[in-house]
Amino acid sequence: AFNTVVNAAARSREPKCADWAASILERMEHLYNAGHKEMQPDALTFGAIINAYANSGEEDASDRAAQLLQHMESLYQFGYEGVKPNTFVYNSCMNALAKSGKKGSGERAEHFLKILEQMYEEQGEDGGVKPDVISYSTVINAHANGGGEDAGQRADVFLKKMEQLYIKGDNAAKPNAIAYTAAIKAWISTGKRRESNKETANEEEDYLKTIATRAEELMMRMCLQYLAGDRSMKPSKVTFDLVSETLRGVNDHLL
């Protein structure tokens, strides 16, 4: 019953609902440790709260989500099978990091992705944890929003990894329009970061051209695959707007 209450609280969309749900979870754990075995929280409960933090928009949401996931991992390592983190939980935590837009959020999201990948390698298909297109796209988005100087390059690394996994038969990792759009956004973010560092005029000009070219290449790949029949690669208005804005920015800079 308490798990149901926590799940409902986490999904309410009310201000501070994630904190309220987390406080109930803390009380449940206290009662469980005191001998009330029916109060044991499960993975669904933890996942609902982590997802609530991802959607809350609160300043410390990503930290709270990461702390909860790490707590789950610790409990599972101590033998609490019912709180084993699953793919949804990891994706929700990485989403909280991506939405935070904080410096270093890409690297933090990568940390959890590596754990997810390692668990899949160790446990296989029956383990209930497997990185998918959402996992990789979310990490790319975390790099894009975090604004690191290598965000574009990191995005390319994960796009290539997804493509390789798909070629090997992993349909869950097949890159789609969301992944490609996130990669375009990551390259644009890289350009803005480099521009703010005030490199020499020639260096800045060359790098802006590189970014515009890469963004255009990614969009063209999306369009070609969509025209070839892959509906998951249909570019959105956001995709076209991002690339158009980048190309205009380069042209304005060169004038």
198 domain-assigned:
no
What pLDDT score does 81 carry? 86
* Residue numbers of the domain that contains 56: 1-85
- Structure confidence by residue, pLDDT tens digits, 173-224: 999 999 999 999 999 988 766 555 555 556 777 778 888 899 999 999 999 9
Q: What is the DSSP secondary-structure string of 199-233? A: --HHHHHHHHHHHHHHHHHHHHHHHHHHHTT-GGG
- Structure confidence by residue, pLDDT tens digits, 3-46: 787 778 777 777 788 898 899 889 989 998 899 888 888 898 89
What is the total count of domains within the chain? 1
28 domain-assigned:
yes
Q: Please give the mean pLDDT across all residues of the chain.
A: 89
- Which pTM does this prediction carry? 0.90
d(CA 171, CA 203): 40
Tell me, what DSSP letter sits at residue 109? Answer: H
What pLDDT score does 254 carry? 54
Is 172 a residue whose pLDDT tops 60?
yes
60 domain-assigned:
yes
43 domain-assigned:
yes
Angle between helical axes of 201-227 and 151-167 (0-180°, round to 10):
30
What pLDDT score does 7 carry? 77
**Helical segments of 11-150, H only:** 17-33, 43-56, 61-77, 87-100, 105-123, 133-146
166 domain-assigned:
no
What pLDDT score does 37 carry? 87
What pLDDT score does 144 carry? 95
d(CA 9, CA 185): 33
91 domain-assigned:
no
d(CA 209, CA 104): 26
Is 139 a residue whose pLDDT tops 90?
yes
244 domain-assigned:
no
> Nearest-CA neighbor of 44 among 87, 13, 14?
87
pLDDT range class, residue 125, cuts 50, 70, 90: confident
40 domain-assigned:
yes
